[in-house]
């Protein structure tokens, strides 16, 4: 064989194309992990389609997860981003959902992983993103058996988790696939990780009406910023559905939360006594390192007729 002097070299990679996000499964197929080529990552437990981790490129965790959280499918996860559907809390006076467990069944059912998609711009690392899609329906094998018995409606849920270099988005599409109309509520129960709750300030809820579940008599609108110094459980309904909520710590912006078609924002921290009474909340002083900012549609009901769909989403951007 004659060797050519100008023999072309083997290409190590396709020229001009940036590395792509990777998606992997755990050995027991209980969770999905996506990582951008720049190091940012997200991990989703198929039980509840619960986001249990979101890290930046340096590996710093952005979500709070209880040390005692059950990740084996035995109960809802304490921490991360549990998904609330079709009822927020309990609704003993609402005929369709009065017998459902607290926060419904989406967070206690096993979802199906539907696939991934990546950003169209394959030439730039700065715009890299990955979207993970999950599904749950009334016909799914993973549906909580209690839900099938107590909520006999034909529905389909598509849940999307999108990771970019500086943000995490979660979005849910609810479709009525049956002949009977149904009512529903939706909420993303997001546990944000902070260093010290005493140094946290929340802006964007000034002069906003809210329902205070801890002290109903104290539900007067307030000025910015909002500080957390005791048990807090409030449902805010901002006048503008597009208004952002900003979380700062020690005077420095940390998170910016925006909503799409979600009218409400729940602010929650269990503080000392409440945390002490929850078996799956560890460490007991963990309330000092977490804050729940929960976009949702929970102050009323979405009524879906046959073929109707409801869609809502949140985006958490690192400030």
Active site residues: 189, 294
For 161, 279, 302, the CA distances from 275, given in Å and listed in that order, are 28, 8, 31
The strand pair at 50-55 and 309-318 is best described as: unpaired
Residues belonging to the chain: 319
Contacts of 2 (CB under 8 A, 6+ apart): none
Query: Which residue in 187, 212, 153 sits closest to 301, CA to CA?
Result: 187
Taking the C-alpha atoms of residue 207 and residue 203, their distance in angstroms, rounded to an integer, is: 11
Token pair recorded at residue 78: 């304490």
Asked whether the beta carbons of 192 and 54 are under 8 A apart, the reply is no
Taking the C-alpha atoms of residue 284 and residue 272, their distance in angstroms, rounded to an integer, is: 8
**φ, ψ for residue 29 (rounded to 5)?**
60, 30
Asked whether the beta carbons of 192 and 291 are under 8 A apart, the reply is yes
Token pair recorded at residue 224: 């910015």
Query: Which residue in 274, 244, 280 sits closest to 259, CA to CA?
Result: 244
Say if residue 86 is preceded by a cis peptide, omega within 30 of 0: yes
Sign of CA dihedral 193, 214, 183, 302: negative
Contacts of 94 (CB under 8 A, 6+ apart): 87, 183, 301
Taking the C-alpha atoms of residue 261 and residue 265, their distance in angstroms, rounded to an integer, is: 12
Beta bridge partners of 124: none
């Amino acid at each position: 064989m004659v060797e050519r002097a100008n023999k072309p070299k083997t290409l190590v990679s396709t020229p001009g194309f940036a590395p792509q996000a990777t998606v992997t499964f755990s050995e027991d197929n209980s969770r999905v992990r996506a990582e951008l080529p720049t190091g940012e990552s997200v991990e989703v437990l198929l039980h509840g389609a619960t986001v249990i981790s979101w890290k930046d490129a340096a590996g710093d965790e952005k979500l709070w997860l209880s040390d005692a959280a059950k990740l084996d499918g035995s109960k809802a996860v304490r921490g991360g981003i549990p998904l609330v559907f079709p009822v927020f809390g309990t609704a003993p006076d609402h005929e369709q959902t009065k017998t459902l467990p607290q926060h419904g069944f989406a967070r206690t059912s096993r979802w199906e992983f539907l696939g991934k998609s990546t950003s169209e711009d394959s030439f730039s690392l700065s715009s890299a993103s990955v979207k993970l899609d999950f599904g749950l329906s009334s016909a799914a094998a993973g549906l909580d058996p209690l839900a099938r018995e107590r909520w006999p409606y034909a529905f389909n849920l598509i849940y999307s988790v999108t990771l970019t270099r500086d943000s995490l988005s979660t979005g849910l599409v609810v479709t009525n696939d049956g002949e009977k109309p149904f009512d529903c509520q939706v909420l993303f129960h997001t546990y944000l990780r902070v260093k010290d709750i005493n140094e946290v300030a929340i802006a964007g809820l000034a002069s906003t009406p809210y329902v205070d579940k801890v002290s109903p008599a104290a539900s007067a609108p307030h000025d910015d910023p909002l500080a957390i110094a005791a048990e807090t459980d409030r449902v805010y309904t901002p006048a503008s559905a597009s208004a952002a909520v900003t979380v700062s710590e020690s005077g420095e912006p940390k998170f910016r939360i925006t909503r799409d078609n979600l009218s409400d924002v729940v602010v929650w921290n269990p503080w000392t006594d409440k945390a002490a009474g929850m078996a799956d909340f560890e460490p007991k002083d963990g309330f000092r390192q977490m804050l729940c900012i929960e976009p949702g549609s929970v102050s009323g009901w979405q009524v879906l007729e046959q073929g109707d769909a409801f869609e809502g989403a949140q985006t958490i951007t690192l400030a």
